[in-house]
């Protein structure tokens, strides 16, 4: 299960996708929206994706995991649209016979997701400013308000 | 030939559109599209070095040749998932 | 939250215990009952614990994690009694500002739990035999039926 | 003095009881309890080398001294969590 969704992520969807009577260890990762980034107050986040390519890349990550660890039970879901503080942006589940492999594979999935899956985050600060984020730095400060950005609360 | 070009995130914002059809000469490559966009909006070229391109949902290079009906996309640095 | 329980573990209990608006990465581990051990069919498992000491040792593991990674949001719950195939025996949740630390700390919690927390597992095989398990080998083959072992299905 | 001794898992099964009160002489240690159990059930001594003891919810050694009201437990090798 590799999915871009606009729905709330509960975790049950990825967990159910990997569970089975012969898989004893399930490792889950949830990324949630924090109320601050480097100390600056965040109002909400907006995620945009290129869904067909994102889902294809997620499946490729699962294929890499299958080759590295022999684990075939991997599920990933990433939400897009506006997310409030505390909401889950991404969930990854890995079921494996050995817990060590499960932790490694789940971490690997998240590392790769951030490298190759076309999804972008826009931070909407508490003061109303907004900007697209790039890895390790702000990529682009928007001069004009973004079309989908909330201007008031 | 005709291809679809998609713009996401900061590119979407800069160009003020999320996708368009482009008519390209035979033998066109990804580079052909980049040059055409630069003519319209010179600032976008500043971001080319950090940006990637895709053709039919796969990462591509400037030299990737295009064919009728291809779906091309400008891929700004991806920032999905969780920050740190 | 460090708890020995006879209730079904959903995962929500540990997740809610660690979540907060400033904690972005949540790593969860679930151990579930598999339908076989080394190829031998399992009917169910029985777990016994020494609850006050087990909960004390869980809290000590959390203290170790706090010292090693500076992570204070750790929750652990372990179920006791008879568990059916697919049911969750143990759940660990760690919320952290950095996902790498979260994975390491969650794995560490499970490693330590298996070392120092007084909980014991008894395997009831599909053929009705039952035995207490010891790390890496069967500790003791029971000649007589255990008081709480199901003799029929 | 009186202490409570608890037996879990395989010990519970071998001794056919989960706990008992034991009256011990002053100066008794964990060792005193182990010897008394061995008198009752010699086979249990085979497991002493893989077993641990606790006093008041903390791992203890054979030489740990006991006091009135202590809760002592025989701790077979722990196997909680998930197998592998």
Q: How far is A99 from chain D (nearest CA, A)?
A: 6
Question: Per the CB < 8 Å rule, is A34 touching C23?
Answer: yes
Question: Per the CB < 8 Å rule, is D78 touching C47?
Answer: no
Closest alpha carbon to A89 in A2, A7, A1: A7
The pLDDT of residue A149 is 36
Mean pLDDT in chain C? 86
What residues 118-147 of chain A have any CB closer than 8 A to a CB of chain B? 118-122, 132-135, 139-140, 142, 144, 146-147
Q: Partners for D (CB, 8 Å, 3+ pairs)?
A: A, C
Average pLDDT over residues A8-16: 94
How far is the C-alpha of A47 from the C-alpha of A70, rounded, in Å?
32
What residues 37-96 of chain C have any CB closer than 8 A to a CB of chain B? none
The pLDDT of residue B67 is 95
Of the candidates D13, D47, D81, the beta carbon closest to that of C90 is on: D81
pLDDT at A152 over 60: no
Identify the burial level of A118 via C-beta atoms within 10 angstroms of its C-beta, where 0-12 means exposed, 13-18 middle and 19 or more buried: buried
* Residues across chain A: 153
Question: Per the CB < 8 Å rule, is A26 touching C29?
Answer: yes
Closest alpha carbon to A37 in A98, A96, A122: A122
Q: Is chain B adjacent to chain D, meaning 3+ CB pairs within 8 angstroms?
A: no
How far is the C-alpha of B82 from the C-alpha of C98, rounded, in Å?
9
How far is the C-alpha of A77 from the C-alpha of A98, rounded, in Å?
23
Q: How far is B37 from chain A (nearest CA, A)?
A: 18
Is the separation of the CB atoms in C46 and C149 below 8 Å? yes
- Give A19-38 pLDDT, tens digit per residue: 887 778 999 999 998 888 88
Do the strands C81-84 and C119-125 form a parallel or antiparallel pair, or are they unpaired? Answer: unpaired
Q: How far is B76 from chain C (nearest CA, A)?
A: 23
How far is the C-alpha of D80 from the C-alpha of C87, rounded, in Å?
14
Q: Partners for C (CB, 8 Å, 3+ pairs)?
A: A, B, D
How far is the C-alpha of D83 from the C-alpha of C113, rounded, in Å?
12
Q: Does B80 touch chain C (CB under 8 A)?
A: no
pLDDT at A91 over 80: yes
Q: Which structure tokens are listed for C4? A: 């020995």
Q: How far is D72 from chain A (nearest CA, A)?
A: 33
For residue B76, the chain A residues in CB contact (below 8 A) are 120, 132, 134, 139
Average pLDDT over residues C70-79: 96
Is the separation of the CB atoms in D74 and D41 below 8 Å? no
Mapped onto helix, strand or coil, the DSSP state of residue B82 is coil
Cα A51 vs. chain centroid, distance in angstroms? 13
Q: Which structure tokens are listed for C94? A: 């760690």
List, in sequence order, every residue forming a beta bridge with C32; answer none if it has no partner: C88
Average pLDDT over residues A72-83: 96
Q: Kindly identify which residue of chain A lies nearest to residue C99, measuring between CA atoms.
A: A107
> pTM score > 0.80 for this model?
yes
What residues 6-65 of chain B have any CB closer than 8 A to a CB of chain A? 6, 8-10, 12-13, 47, 50, 54, 57-59
How far is the C-alpha of B53 from the C-alpha of B55, rounded, in Å?
7
How far is the C-alpha of A37 from the C-alpha of D50, rounded, in Å?
50
Could you give phi then psi for residue C65, rounded to 5 degrees? -65, -40
Q: Kindly identify which residue of chain C lies nearest to residue A29, measuring between CA atoms.
A: C27
Is the separation of the CB atoms in C57 and C117 below 8 Å? yes
Is the separation of the CB atoms in C40 and A31 below 8 Å? no
pLDDT band at A54 (very low <50, low <70, confident <90, very high): very high
For residue B13, the chain A residues in CB contact (below 8 A) are 132, 140, 142, 144, 146-147
Average pLDDT over residues A66-73: 95
Do the strands D2-7 and D19-23 form a parallel or antiparallel pair, or are they unpaired? Answer: antiparallel
The pLDDT of residue D84 is 60
The pLDDT of residue C81 is 96
Closest alpha carbon to A26 in B58, C106, B57, B83: C106
- How many DSSP H helices and E strands does chain A contain? 3, 10
The pLDDT of residue C138 is 42
How far is the C-alpha of D64 from the C-alpha of D73, rounded, in Å?
13
**How many CB atoms sit inside 10 A of residue C86's CB?**
15
How far is the C-alpha of A54 from the C-alpha of A80, rounded, in Å?
12
The pLDDT of residue D53 is 94
The pLDDT of residue A6 is 97
Q: How far is A98 from chain D (nearest CA, A)?
A: 5
Closest alpha carbon to A83 in A1, A29, A13, A148: A148
DSSP A11: S
- Give B22-52 pLDDT, tens digit per residue: 999 999 999 999 999 999 888 888 888 888 9
Q: Does D80 touch chain A (CB under 8 A)?
A: no
Could you give phi then psi for residue D75, rounded to 5 degrees? -115, 100
Selected residue with higher pLDDT from B24 and B13: B24
């Amino acid at each position: 299960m590799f999915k871009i969704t606009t729905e709330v992520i509960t975790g049950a969807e990825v967990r159910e996708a990997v569970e089975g009577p012969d898989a004893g260890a399930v490792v889950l990762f949830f990324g949630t929206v924090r109320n601050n980034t480097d100390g600056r107050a965040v109002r909400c986040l907006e995620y945009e994706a290129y869904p067909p390519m994102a889902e294809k890349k997620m499946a490729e990550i699962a294929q890499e995991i299958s080759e590295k660890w022999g684990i075939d039970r991997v599920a990933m879901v990433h939400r897009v649209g506006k997310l409030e503080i505390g909401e889950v942006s991404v969930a990854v589940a890995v079921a494996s016979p050995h817990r060590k492999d499960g932790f490694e594979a789940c971490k690997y999935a998240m590392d790769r997701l951030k490298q190759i899956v076309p999804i972008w985050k826009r931070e909407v600060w508490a003061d109303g400013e907004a900007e697209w984020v790039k890895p390790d730095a702000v990529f682009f400060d928007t001069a004009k308000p973004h079309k989908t950005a909330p201007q008031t609360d | 030939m005709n291809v679809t070009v998609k713009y996401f995130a900061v590119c979407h914002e800069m160009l003020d559109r999320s996708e368009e059809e482009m008519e390209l000469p035979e033998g066109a490559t990804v580079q052909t599209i980049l040059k055409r966009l630069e003519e319209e909006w010179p600032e976008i070229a500043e971001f080319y070095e950090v940006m990637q391109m895709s053709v039919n949902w796969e990462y591509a290079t400037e030299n990737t040749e295009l064919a009728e009906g291809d779906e091309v996309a400008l891929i700004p640095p991806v920032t999905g998932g969780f920050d740190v």
